[in-house]
Amino acid sequence: MQNQPSYLANAKSNPGANRAPWYKNTAPTYAGIILWFVFWQDIVNTGSFGGGLAQGILVPVVSVIVAALLCHFLFYLVPGLLGMKTGLPLYVVGSSVFGAKGGIIMPGLLMGLLQFGWVAVNVYFSSLLLHATLTAIPLWAIMIVWGAAATFMGLKGIQYVAKVSTYLPLIPLVILIILLAKTVDSVGDFNPSLFNNAGSKLIGGLTDDGAVLGGFGIFAFIVTYIVGFFATAGAAGTDFGTNSRDANDVQKGGLVGISLAMVFTGIAAVLIVGGAYGNLEMAAKAGGAMNVTQVMPAILGENMAKTCMFLLALAAFPAACFSSLIAANSFKTMLPKVNANLSVAIGGAVAVILAISGYAGKSAAIFGFIGASFGPICGAMVADYFLNGKNWSGPREGFNPAGWLAWAVGFVIGVLPNFNVNVPMAPVCAFFAGLVVYAVCVKLGIQSKTGR
């Protein structure tokens, strides 16, 4: 292909000598993402009476397991295999779906832009936990400092953050184990009927009518929540795959680092909240909150809970820094003539504004939007992979219409719940929409030529 964009012309495959077993790269890195408290704290916080526990413990447990498997097999596996086979990162591999020029925008710049959404979410929730201890400092001031520090360290001091980031995920792991140990004995005493009847006292962001979700509603909420959270990380499996030696590394890295980590953290969150409300003393103190960190004081006591909240926030700081770094690398690669420091500084400022405004705290809506954005990307990549004989076709010329149509249809379907249109498990629907539309377009010949 003549006149390739610089991101393709300069792309180099990661050689086999630089790769390592799954337990040294893919699994621990993904597990660190899944252990982030923002992922597991709201898994049963549906915003309705009884939350995800309205029908008992079994429904949310099954929902977590199904969602964890969907994340591995639908959203991660094919991108991971493509990264392993090519040794090339997502923004290069994605050029077969969206075209050489289209790849600059999708998934290249889109991945970078969405990182600021993650920074905003991190700033919002981490600052809330810090404010529980630093009560004398205004919440907005903590958000500004946290966001500015994360942006600066992501650009200038990531090597220092990286030195300690390997060990910080142990903090949420230990805290989850402590919370489980304190509540597991009373899980069997949890009674959803009594819990739902106390609905008028709930404080966890309730619906106006106080409705109790049925089993399918809970299942759909949890699958949407988990898959939406994971969607960008699934597509980034391409980058993780470049460090894998073979397909076995890709499979085991995902099953352990993604599915097993999700099953542990998700079910732990379910049991912790259920156990807290199975204990009459804890239930009285919890007051109906469904967020794990909000229930924490009832389980551990105020002082111990504040200490744990502070530590959870501390453990989350590297994630905000790495999001800033990913955004910077995206801009440098896709828009080499644009000053990446300036663009990232602007993005960091927008992230702080989103946090201060409170919008970044609507985790379910944000995860849904991210799932709508990357669900069809993953779906189209899966279709392209199998239609091309389980190989990468190489960059396609210009803007590949098959990829863009697949993304547009999938995104519209996936984002409808954000406009109060009920689409159960919207990120999963967006994935399959992207897959089907892309496959149909290819069969109809609506596809640009490959440059190889």
Mean pLDDT, range 225-231, rounded to an integer? 96
Q: What is the pLDDT of residues 95-131, one digit of tens each?
A: 999 999 999 999 989 998 999 999 999 999 999 999 9
Give the three-class secondary structure for 61.
helix
Tell me, what's the pLDDT at 334? Answer: 87
Q: Which two tokens stand for residue 45?
A: 């916080």
Tell me, what's the pLDDT at 208? Answer: 41
Q: Is the pLDDT of residue 330 over 70?
A: yes
DSSP string, 101-131: THHIIIIIIHHHHHHHHHHHHHHHHHHHHHH
**For residue 363, is it left (φ>0), alpha (ψ between -120 and 50) or beta?**
alpha
Q: Which two tokens stand for residue 81?
A: 């295999």
Q: Is the pLDDT of residue 201 over 50?
A: no
Q: Which residues of 31-70 are buried (b: 16+ CB within 10 A; e: fewer)?
A: bbbbbbbbbbbbbbbbebbbbbbbbbbebbbebbebbbeb
Q: Which amino acid is at 73?
A: F
Mean pLDDT, range 151-173, rounded to an integer? 83
Q: Which two tokens stand for residue 28?
A: 């621990």
Please state which CATH class domain 33-378 belongs to: mainly alpha
Q: Which two tokens stand for residue 241?
A: 């795959």
Q: How far apart are CA 91 and CA 94, in angstroms?
A: 5
Q: Angle formed by the axes of helices 170-183 and 292-300, to 10°?
A: 60
Global pTM?
0.94
CB 116 within 8 A of CB 285: no
Q: Is the pLDDT of residue 452 over 80?
A: no
At residue 102, φ and ψ (nearest 5 deg) are -65, -30
Q: How far apart are CA 195 and CA 181, in angstroms?
A: 22
Alpha-carbon torsion 63, 66, 71, 72, what sign? positive
Q: What is the mean pLDDT of the chain?
A: 91
Q: Is the pLDDT of residue 451 over 70?
A: no
Range with the poorest average pLDDT among 39-48, 73-82, 407-416, 429-438:
39-48
**Residue whose entry in the numeric block shows the structure tokens 């629907």:** 429
Q: Is the pLDDT of residue 179 over 90?
A: yes
Q: What is the pLDDT of residues 279-289, one digit of tens each?
A: 989 998 998 89
Distances (CA, A) of 280 to 269, 285, 287: 19, 9, 11
Give the three-class secondary structure for 389.
coil
Tell me, what's the pLDDT at 209? Answer: 45
Tell me, what's the pLDDT at 198? Answer: 52
Q: Is the pLDDT of residue 337 over 50?
A: yes
Work out the end-to-end distance of the chain between its first and last CA atoms, rounded to an integer number of angstroms: 7
Pick the more confident residue, 247 or 49. 247
At residue 396, φ and ψ (nearest 5 deg) are -105, 155
Mean pLDDT, range 199-211, rounded to an integer? 45
Alpha-carbon torsion 317, 322, 327, 331, what sign? positive
Nearest to 51 by CA among 224, 260, 218: 218
Q: How far apart are CA 411 and CA 371, in angstroms?
A: 9
DSSP string, 64-91: HHHHHHHIIIIIIHHHHHHHHHH---HH
Please give the DSSP secondary-structure letter assigned to residue 386: H
- pLDDT band at residue 364 using 50, 70 and 90 as cut-offs: confident
Mean pLDDT, range 184-196, rounded to an integer? 87
Please give the DSSP secondary-structure letter assigned to residue 275: H
Number of helices and strands (H, E) in the chain? 24, 0
